[in-house]
Structures are given as structure tokens and as C-alpha cells.
Structure 1
């Protein structure tokens, strides 16, 4: 902390015989603890995670993320109430299917919060200020990526928790429900990483938040609509062999294919025929490649943005 002392004046002769004044305003060097890059990275992560739900910001900033969180959880609560009231033998919807059914809400959340996380730093040119401290490009990218992925995991895992607790209250089979719950958590964790990466890459292209929101919505919505339409056409034309391969071109169908192949989920593809185990390997490689590619593109983008 700077401590101000009465200024001291020192006079020194110049070459021309004139006198100049040097004012010592009494600032002392910082001699406190230096917490380093790890602390700065954790602080940036926690700040970005809180900002994804409007915490620490204005009331207006809290409305949309909190509303979307409630919208994600309300259907799960209704399903639980129905299962308890009717003494059903199973939940109306599998854990792995919930995120696929609610993908429109998830896409809207990504579109609203990814630009908020990175576009404003670019617009107000605060990125070089981050890098003037002991924070490097990788620290910034990892903190932002991890924060948005964590926020999305909270959004998608919370309704699964509601379903799981409700299933136990309805006295459904414990082992079956625990297995399904674990599979659902794996699925939404992979979904969170993929959607967060795509949203951040698109948002980091432009400093205009509105453009970022529109671009993310377009990518998520148009890709899913196009893939679903072409898959439906393929089914009517007896081209069922092409249906699993078409799912490689949309983020949500990629997750659907992975969980169908490896997590025992039911497929939402036309005809209910998901990818085989061999095709599932391709799905998994594509998903992991997209996540790694998004991280690499963000690193490249912020090497330039930090100059």
C-alpha cells in the first residue's frame, strides 16, 4: 500500500546554470506477499464462474442465467412429483436423455454467457492489462474455459440431482438409479466442455456481445436443425446407414451419439438407431478433437489479443 509523505524538494544544477526540482512524494515499494500466477488464475476462474450467474453484478445481469437455471430444473421437479404421486416403477425420462431434450435452453445459456465472459474484455481492451500481471495466455484461456464449463455443468447436472433425489424418494431401485445418474453426469460433463469451447471460440472472434450471442445461437440451432432434417429425409429414403454419420455435424447429436454408444442411452436419432460401437469411437474422437481444437484456437486468439 502506498504511503504518502510530505514531498521533499532537491535542487540540482543543470548545464545552463539553472536549477530543477525533483519531488520525492514518498511512495514506498510493495513489500507484502506476492501470491503469483496460481492465485491470479484461481481469482480469474472464480470471478468468471460467479459472473456466469450474475453474482457480484447488477440485478439485471442475474435475471437471465437464474431464469434459465430454474427452467432447467422445473421439468425435473415435475417428473419427480409425478413419479412419487403415481408410484411409478421408473422415471419418465432417462438421466442421459434430459440434456438432449433441454438442449434449446442449454444453447441459449451458452449464447448469453460465453460473450459475457470474453467479449467485454476484448471490447474494452482489458486483455493486455491481465497479461501485464503474472498471468500468461494459457492462464487466461484455461481460467475462462474452466469457468464456463463449470457453470454449464452446474446448469446441466442440477436437474439430474433433482431426478436422482426424487427417484430415491419414490423408492425406485437404488443401484439402477445410481448407475443412470452416474452415466448422466459423464454425459453432461462432456457436453459442458464441448459447448463451452464452441461458445468461447465464437465469442472471442468479435468484441461485440450482440454479434457473439447471435453467432452462437445460429451455430447451435442451425446445425441441429439441419442435421435433424437431413436425418429425417434419409430415414424416409431408406438411407438409415447414413443417419449415424450425419450426427457428426451437430454438437448435441455428437453428445447423443457418444452416450448412445458408450453409456447405454437411448438414441434420439430418427428410427431410434444410434451409432454402433465402432461409429461411437469416431464420435468420441471428434468430440475430443473439437474440445482440443477450441482450446488451441483460443490460445492462438489471445496470443494476438494480448499484444
Structure 2
């Protein structure tokens, strides 16, 4: 006869009676984790190499400009605050191409989106956190050199009012650029779980479009169609930002012949930029309605 008996073991399960931090905390945590991940923080050493190199490369020209301005006692900085991001657009494109897919493609590839939504977090929280984190990371990348230029301008004893005005215009410019570029890059990256495809697509959208638009603008200008130059700038993210700067932030146009949009066309530029930002958010929401199931 079997002498085995059933035993009940107390394995120590206890009811959680701590504070339930809820949805807002989950959203903030996802934002923080995504922002840190954009610079490789909290990840492997290999993940930190590229974003930190790009951050350094972004800041080095500003430091050189400051050193030259202070050493030569220049009367003005050789590069306007609003032009810095335009000049360094290739670095911005590489940064987004590397980090936007990393932010969203891994979740898509490993099908971890439903795990996020099993917590007290909604689709809108995920999209807002990812968008805000990418835009904040890009703003840090683009605003830091402008801060260096501003400090250098003050050290060079340039006019305080002029430098402060230019500094403010530069910050507004890169804030708008960060929202626009981050939205576009995240949309492109979210369309594929393959990180390599996402990298190539982001580069194509942000960089190749600028080359194509600039070429067509140069052809139009050489043919005397100067009126078309401003309108052509609507078809590239970087020329959109350049047009808004020229129309509203006192920037010098980098369009062929210096033909930039006036206030009237500038309103169209601004509306297109705002529409693209809102559209990027809407596309991301639609995308994660499907993959979150």
C-alpha cells in the first residue's frame, strides 16, 4: 500500500500592498529607457560607440569656431546659429539612421509590442514616449553645439543682445527640426522590423531627397525660373527647415542664389512642417494599432 500523502507547501506568496505607480509612471519609464538607449546608455559598450562619436563630431566644429573667434577677436561668429544644423545635416541623418530603427525595429522584430500593452500602458503612451524620446535625443545632439557657440560668442565679447537673439532663433530652429526629423525617421523605421532596411530607408528619405531637391533647384535657378526655387524646397525635410528659418528666424537662405521664401510662402513651409509632424504621429498610431494586437 502506498504511504504517499499529499502535502501543501507554503512557498511564500504575498499580496503586493505597495504603491501602484500606474500608467503615467510606465510612460515616463519607457521615455527614459528609450532616451538613454538613443545614446547607448544602459546597453553594451559597442552600442555607445557610434552615437557618442557622432555627438563628438557634431560638437567639434562648434568648438573650433569658438576657438578661432576668441583667438582672432572676431567681430562676429563665422557661422550663424540657425545654419549650424543645416551644415551638419549629414551627421544628423547618420544619427537618425542608426538610432530610429534601434528604437522601434527591435520591438517589432521580436514581437514584444503586446508585452508593453499587457501593462498599464496604451498605444498612445507607447507612441508618445518613443516620439518624445527620439525628438529629445536629437534636440540634445543639435542644441549642444549651439550652446557651445553661444558661450563662445560671449567669451569673445560679442554683442550680448545679438548673440542671445541668434541663440534663441537657433534653439527654435533645431527644436522644430528635431520634431520633424524624428517623426519621419520613426515612421520609416516602424514600417519594417529589419534594422538594416530601416537604416537605408531613413538615409534615403533624409539625405537623398535633399540632394535631389538641391539639384533641381540649381537647374531651375540656372534656367531663370527663380520663382520655382522656393516652391521646390517643400519636397525635402532639410529644405523645409531652411525655408522656415529664412522666412521667420532671420536666417540666410542656402537656396541657389540666396532665393529664399518670403513671409507668404514661408507660411506654407510652416504649415507643411506642422502637417508632417502631425501626420507622422498619426501614421505611428495607425501602425501600432495593427502590431499591438
User: 1:4 aligns to what?
Assistant: none
User: Which protein, 1 or 2, shows the higher relative CO under an 8 Å CA cutoff with sep ≥ 6?
Assistant: 2
Distance of 1:223 and 1:155 partners within structure 2: 22
Distance of 1:33 and 1:150 partners within structure 2: 29
Q: Which runs of 5+ in 1 are unaligned?
A: 1-7, 11-21
Task: Flag the structure with larger Rg.
Answer: 1
Identify which of 87, 102, 121 aligns with 2:88: 102
1:280 paired with 2:280, answer no
Q: Which runs of 5+ in 2 are unaligned?
A: none
User: 1:91 aligns to what?
Assistant: 77
Deviation at 1:129, TM superposition (A): 0.3
Q: CA RMSD in A?
A: 1.3
User: 2:33 aligns to what?
Assistant: 47
Deviation at 1:23, TM superposition (A): 7.3
Equivalent position SS for 1:266: coil
Distance of 2:59 and 2:161 partners within structure 1: 23
Identify which of 198, 203, 212 aligns with 2:189: 203
Distance of 2:222 and 2:245 partners within structure 1: 25
Distance of 1:230 and 1:99 partners within structure 2: 22
Deviation at 1:222, TM superposition (A): 1.4
Distance of 1:205 and 1:90 partners within structure 2: 45
Deviation at 1:234, TM superposition (A): 0.3
Contact 1:9 1:24 in 2 (8 A): no
Deviation at 1:94, TM superposition (A): 0.2
Distance of 2:16 and 2:120 partners within structure 1: 15
Deviation at 1:221, TM superposition (A): 1.4
Deviation at 1:29, TM superposition (A): 2.9
Distance of 1:67 and 1:93 partners within structure 2: 22
Equivalent position SS for 2:153: helix
Distance of 2:161 and 2:215 partners within structure 1: 38
Task: Normalising by structure 2, report the TM-score.
Answer: 0.97
Deviations 1:153-197 (A, max 9, x none): 000000000000000000000000000000000000000000000
Deviations 1:30-73 (A, max 9, x none): 22210000000000000000000000111100000000000110
Identify which of 222, 228, 231 aligns with 2:214: 228
